[in-house]
């Protein structure tokens, strides 16, 4: 029972299962050397990932589906 509780808790905080779109975006930008990342609100319908430099300027904007083909939900 205790193990089941731990698994459910880890699933609820996102440590298990697939990554969220924002986590995929953040990982992509940091792996490519950018300081920050951002995405438009979910209800906008725009599934793009923006990467920012040290000054906070957007330097790259890519469709989320081009980062990882299985990111579509």
Q: What is the pLDDT of residue 32?
A: 94
Q: Which of 54, 66, 68 is nearest to 18 (CA)?
A: 68
- DSSP 8-state code for residue 17: S
18 contacts: CB under 8 Å, gap ≥ 6: 70
Whether residue 53 is predicted with pLDDT greater than 80 in this model: the reply is yes
Whole-prediction pTM: 0.69
**3-state class (DSSP) for residue 24:** helix
Task: Tell me the C-alpha to C-alpha distance, in Å, between residue 50 and each of 4, 12, 73.
Answer: 37, 26, 19
- Over the stretch 7-40, which tens digit does the pLDDT of each residue have? 777 777 666 667 788 889 999 999 999 999 999 9
């Amino acid at each position: 029972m205790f193990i089941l509780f731990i698994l459910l808790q880890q699933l609820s905080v996102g440590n298990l299962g697939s990554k969220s779109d924002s986590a995929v975006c953040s990982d992509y930008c940091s792996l490519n050397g950018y300081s920050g990342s951002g995405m438009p609100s979910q209800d906008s319908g725009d599934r793009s990932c923006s990467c920012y430099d040290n000054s906070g300027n957007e330097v790259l904007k890519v469709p989320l589906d081009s980062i990882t083909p299985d990111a579509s939900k």
